[in-house]
């Protein structure tokens, strides 16, 4: 975890008419949703209740069972409402989380022990409910750290909900939120995140969590600045509840009780950011073309089909990365072919002729499923993840390929394999695809036989031998998130080494350059194959500058990042970007490269990086 910094020392400040010691404190976490939020701190206390073990008289059994039944029914009703709300706002996939919760409450393997606790052991309804759910959470926890952490959170969330109904307490603390505030909590469960009132929650910060958790996905989808993994926030928060807090969703900084100067700095940054974004709106309809007339394709990254509307509204001209594993992760149940097809055909329809790159399921490592958790790996980042996992589960892989191919009959679809490490692996995946094509052909089902089949370049071996891969692949997309992790041996989800995670490291840049070169000159006929970048770097201005300078003409990023990237594109010339690459690669320290890139970016767009320039 990132160390707690009591950085700025103590200052005397006057707040609410009182002269008090007001030490400004800075904590650090992992930024998961950009922007600056400023507001009073609203602390959601830990809701874990301690339920004492008490027994009842035999004649009270019926009454206690009725309390359990009423609590389960009320919880299911509440969850159904949340599911409907989430479905309307975020789409079917996100809503499936609640279907999963509802399913658990209707499952006899969970409700059976609750009832038995009352009937056989004469326990109170609350103790029977609490102990049954605790046993289930412990079972998930025994599957290993990280692997089934989400499930443990889900069960704890569910336990608090049902207990609230058994005991009869009407509201959670989060529901008490009446005025706009920044919410701090130890954990943010999916159901809490989805029940946020966007007008009241200005930002949020959690003690636990990583970049790829549900929390970040919801925050980004709702456009709320958020920082997770903030070690120490809950210890700091109770004594300061009601104090002012700043959440910098770009840098991961949290500032409690900012002094006047810092507060003014962030207010200016937030205002600059607001004006910057307003100005960006004017660019939406304008082409993404550099000042010297070179077109740069801007595509969107999505986790759920519903995000396509936001990508198009932000000026994206297609989807460069659809992370289909979220079909799995939202429910932890393998999607059926019909569910796959429904998602992909919805995307094709929404895109109305624009390109859609569907990445096959990138499960494993930090993106676990329930089934995977039963066989925890010692080193999951180097384990059976992504395409390796799909190749070991042919039935599952083929189900997805069938659905993608069927969707390819409806509009322009490309297929992309993740984490390809060896040429044989890519050929094997292609072989599966051909097999599925034959099946569909035999069944008389329509599909695009010439569907482009490409790969992510996100492992050093793929970048180093990109020329070899370019003979088989129809296109490349550089995945800088994983490429940085594997090149620098830095776990992208580990806060302890987050400072070493640098997409502008010279070794990473050398691999990107090599990949672009191989794509430009490789391919079956030597005419080259298309190459794009869909890692987070593509949406970060200082890195986008480098990528364009190294020769990329296609970038894929999340919807909120696209307008600023377009602004960058329209403000620079190719020689300018090439010059930035030359200077950046001549520097011999990561810190110097980052600082140079930020300065170069601010020279081009002075208002850029507004919320981040607190350093």
Antiparallel, parallel or unpaired: β 30-33 and 226-228: antiparallel
Cα–chain-centroid distance for residue 612?
Answer: 20
Beta pairing partners, 110: none
User: How far apart are alpha carbons 366 and 362 in whole angstroms?
Assistant: 10
**Phi, psi (degrees; rounded to nearest 5) at 299:** -115, 170
- CB closer to ligand PEP, 185 vs 558: 558
E strands within 408-550? 413-417, 453-457, 476-478, 531-533
Is 214 an active-site residue?
yes
Is residue 482 part of the contact set for ligand PEP (CB under 6 A)?
Answer: yes
CB of 28 to Mg ion, least distance (A): 24
User: How far apart are alpha carbons 134 and 128 in whole angstroms?
Assistant: 10
CB of 43 to ligand PEP, least distance (A): 32
In the set 153, 362, 495, 542, which binds ligand PEP (CB under 6 A)? 362
Is residue 481 part of the contact set for ligand PEP (CB under 6 A)?
Answer: yes
- CB closer to ligand PEP, 413 vs 534: 534
CB of 456 to ligand PEP, least distance (A): 6
Which residue pairs, CB below 8 angstroms and at least 24 apart, start in 376-384? 376/143, 376/144, 376/147, 380/146, 380/147, 381/485, 381/491
Residue 534, contacted partner among ligand PEP, Mg ion, none, CB below 5-8 A by kind? ligand PEP
Catalog residues that contact Mg ion under the rule CB under 5 A: 458, 479, 482
CB of 365 to ligand PEP, least distance (A): 8
Residue nearest to ligand PEP (CB): 479
Residue 64, contacted partner among ligand PEP, Mg ion, none, CB below 5-8 A by kind? none
User: How far apart are alpha carbons 184 and 247 in whole angstroms?
Assistant: 10
CB of 485 to ligand PEP, least distance (A): 8
E strands within 450-606? 453-457, 476-478, 531-533, 554-558
User: How far apart are alpha carbons 387 and 125 in whole angstroms?
Assistant: 47
Question: Looking at the chain, how many residues does it have?
Answer: 615
- CB closer to Mg ion, 191 vs 477: 477
DSSP state of 4: P
- CB closer to Mg ion, 307 vs 458: 458
Is residue 303 part of the contact set for ligand PEP (CB under 6 A)?
Answer: no
With 0-12 / 13-18 / 19 or more C-beta atoms within 10 angstroms meaning exposed / middle / buried, residue 430 is: middle
- CB closer to Mg ion, 92 vs 482: 482
Is residue 153 part of the contact set for ligand PEP (CB under 6 A)?
Answer: no
CB 148 within 8 A of CB 213: no
Is residue 156 part of the contact set for ligand PEP (CB under 6 A)?
Answer: no
CB 190 within 8 A of CB 214: yes
Task: With CB under 6 A as the rule, give the number of residues binding ligand PEP.
Answer: 10
User: How far apart are alpha carbons 485 and 492 in whole angstroms?
Assistant: 6
Site for ligand PEP in 197-256 (CB under 6 A): none
In the set 154, 458, 472, 542, which binds ligand PEP (CB under 6 A)? 458
CB of 211 to Mg ion, least distance (A): 12
Residue 535, contacted partner among Mg ion, ligand PEP, none, CB below 5-8 A by kind? ligand PEP
- CB closer to ligand PEP, 273 vs 458: 458
Is residue 479 part of the contact set for ligand PEP (CB under 6 A)?
Answer: yes
**Phi, psi (degrees; rounded to nearest 5) at 454:** -125, -170
CB of 366 to ligand PEP, least distance (A): 8
In the set 96, 253, 323, 402, which binds ligand PEP (CB under 6 A)? 323
In the set 47, 124, 369, 480, which binds ligand PEP (CB under 6 A)? 480
Is residue 534 part of the contact set for ligand PEP (CB under 6 A)?
Answer: yes
Angle at 400 between CA 445 and CA 85, to 5 degrees: 110
- CB closer to Mg ion, 262 vs 386: 386
Residue 408, contacted partner among ligand PEP, Mg ion, none, CB below 5-8 A by kind? none
User: How far apart are alpha carbons 550 and 296 in whole angstroms?
Assistant: 13
**Phi, psi (degrees; rounded to nearest 5) at 292:** -100, 25
Active-site option among 347, 534, 543, 577: 534
CB 323 within 8 A of CB 305: no
Active-site option among 214, 390, 533, 543: 214
Q: Looking at the annotation, which residues are catalytic?
A: 214, 534
List residues binding ligand PEP (CB under 6 A): 321, 323, 362, 458, 479-482, 534-535
């Amino acid at each position: 975890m990132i160390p707690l910094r009591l950085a700025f020392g103590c200052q005397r400040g006057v707040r609410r008419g009182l002269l008090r010691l007001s030490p400004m404190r800075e904590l650090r976490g992992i930024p998961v949703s950009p922007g600056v939020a400023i507001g009073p701190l609203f602390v959601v206390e830990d809701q874990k209740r301690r339920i004492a073990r008490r027994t009842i008289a035999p004649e009270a059994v019926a009454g206690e069972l009725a309390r359990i039944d009423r609590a389960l029914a009320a919880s299911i009703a509440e969850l159904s409402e949340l599911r409907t709300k989430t479905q309307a706002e975020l789409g079917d996939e996100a809503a499936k989380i609640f279907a999963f919760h509802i399913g658990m409450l209707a499952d006899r393997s969970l409700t059976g022990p609750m009832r038995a606790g009352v009937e056989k052991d004469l326990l109170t309804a609350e103790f029977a409910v609490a102990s049954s759910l605790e046993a289930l959470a412990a079972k998930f926890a025994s599957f290993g750290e990280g692997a089934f952490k989400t499930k443990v959170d889900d069960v704890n969330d569910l336990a608090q909900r049902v207990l609230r109904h058994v005991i009869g307490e009407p509201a959670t603390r989060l529901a008490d939120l009446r005025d706009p505030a920044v919410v701090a909590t130890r954990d943010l469960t999916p159901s809490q995140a989805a029940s946020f009132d966007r007008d009241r929650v200005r930002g949020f910060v959690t003690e636990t969590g990583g970049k790829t958790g549900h929390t970040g996905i919801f925050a980004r989808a709702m456009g709320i600045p958020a920082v997770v993994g903030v070690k120490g926030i809950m210890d700091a928060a109770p004594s300061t509840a009601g104090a002012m807090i700043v959440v910098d969703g770009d840098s991961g900084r949290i500032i409690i009780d900012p002094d006047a100067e810092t507060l003014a700095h962030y207010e200016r940054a937030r205002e600059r950011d607001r004006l910057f974004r307003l100005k960006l709106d004017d660019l939406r309809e304008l082409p993404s073309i550099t000042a010297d007339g070179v077109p740069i394709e801007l595509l969107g990254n999505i986790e759920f089909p519903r995000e396509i509307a936001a990508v198009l509204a932000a000026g994206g001209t297609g989807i460069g990365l659809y992370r289909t594993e979220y079909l799995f992760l939202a429910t932890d149940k393998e999607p059926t072919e019909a569910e796959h097809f429904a998602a992909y055909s919805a995307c094709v329809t929404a895109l109305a002729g624009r390109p859609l790159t569907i990445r096959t399921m990138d499960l494993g490592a930090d993106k676990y499923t329930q089934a995977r958790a039963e066989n925890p790996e010692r080193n999951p980042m180097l384990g059976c993840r992504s395409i390796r996992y799909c190749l070991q589960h042919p039935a599952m892989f083929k189900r997805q390929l069938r659905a993608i191919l069927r969707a390819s009959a409806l509009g322009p679809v490309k297929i992309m394999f993740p984490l390809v490490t060896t040429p044989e692996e890519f050929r094997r995946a292609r072989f599966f695809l051909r097999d599925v094509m034959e099946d569909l052909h035999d069944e008389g089902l329509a599909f695009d036989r010439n569907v482009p089949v490409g790969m992510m370049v996100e492992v050093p071996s793929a970048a180093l031998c990109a020329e070899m891969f370019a003979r088989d692949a129809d296109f490349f997309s550089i995945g800088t998130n994983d490429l940085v992790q594997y090149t620098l041996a830095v776990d992208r989800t580990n806060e302890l080494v987050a400072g070493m995670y640098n997409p502008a490291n010279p070794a990473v840049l050398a691999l990107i350059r090599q990949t672009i070169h191989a794509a430009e000159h490789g391919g079956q006929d030597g005419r080259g194959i298309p190459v794009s970048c869909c890692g987070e770097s593509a949406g970060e201005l200082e890195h986008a500058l480098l990528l364009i300078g190294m020769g990329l003409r296609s970038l894929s990023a999340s919807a909120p990042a696209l307008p600023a990237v377009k602004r960058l594109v329209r403000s620079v010339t190719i020689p300018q970007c090439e010059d930035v690459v030359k200077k950046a690669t001549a520097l011999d320290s990561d810190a110097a490269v980052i600082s140079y890139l930020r300065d170069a970016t601010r020279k081009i767009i002075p208002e850029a990086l507004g919320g981040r320039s607190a350093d």
